[in-house]
Structure 1
Amino acid sequence: MRIAFLTAPEGVEQVELTEPWQAAVDAGHEPVLVSTGPGKVQAFDHLDKADTFMVDEVVGEVSADSFGGLVLPGGVANPDFLRTDDKAVAFVRAFFEQGRPVAAICHAPWILIEADVVRGRVLTSWPSLRTDVRNAGGDWVDEQVQICDHGPAKLVTSRKPDDLAAFCEAYLRVFAAEGD
């Protein structure tokens, strides 16, 4: 299965990109780095610059129907930038409209809120997003990982880097089941 990993040009939390990416590779999937422009994305280790990664596809030039699922890594700056990009928001919304599974960790639910897809869903995130999720009509829970099957698209969410093992296991299980 081709899995889109959507990131901004700068600000993605490196471990929240690389661990789910490697889990996808290990499970036999094809991860694809999608960003708002060509070139490289600059990852961060919290507030410190980390590695750069080559962009495979540019949002606006690729559609959700060419992927089996979507992973949204966190980092504070990453989803904050993406939620201001109309093409990125439309790309995320399309996965939900098409019933394709989505996984988001840490601050990534900010783009889900902007895409107006959390209403009626149960999800988790970095704790500071609790009020944002609730104001957008979602039910926020403080859990290591949350799987919500409300609506046509399943949503897997997690809180933070410490939850990555559970997040990777859950999103791969959900994506595999949806891909059958």
Structure 2
Amino acid sequence: MNRNTVVRGITAAAVAFGGLAVATTGVANAGTPAPCTASELTATAGDGQQGQDPLFRQLVVEFKAKDGVHCQLKGLPGELTFYKDGKPIPVTPKVKDADRAQVIDVRGIDTATLIVDIPKDGAPVTPTDEVSFTLPSANADVIRLPYTAGVAETPTISPVIGPTG
């Protein structure tokens, strides 16, 4: 084997190793995604599965990451407020399953879901036209969405769940 062949072999190995090092570094630096912000998400609100419990209506909020976004949600929303004609309707929600909170990665076609159970019976239903809350993440961004089903008694919130894709 001549000297040129050995040098070329070492150079090729160094380039290959260097490429592997760059690829590995890229993966290592990717790290944990940051908590989601309101500007990174598309949030929609709707009615949930009405047949599950006849005593409750479900407000279901789905979070989908915007194109190219990868972020995380975890836990419960904060500052849940319902509105009618721009005026807040005071409620203090009950919390269910807070100890089951998990970190949910939101990206691509995956969505995270937040469910708020709202009692149907009991006190008279107060009409609503919007609902707002802070994101279930380390950010204090407020999400405000249309919601016209009304609220009667104290709603119950659970941690965000997902992903569903």
| TM-score of the pair, normalised by structure 2 | 0.23
Higher helix fraction: Structure 1 or Structure 2?
A: 1
Higher strand fraction: Structure 1 or Structure 2?
A: 2
Work out which structure has the larger RCO, using CA pairs closer than 8 Å and 6 or more positions apart in sequence: 2
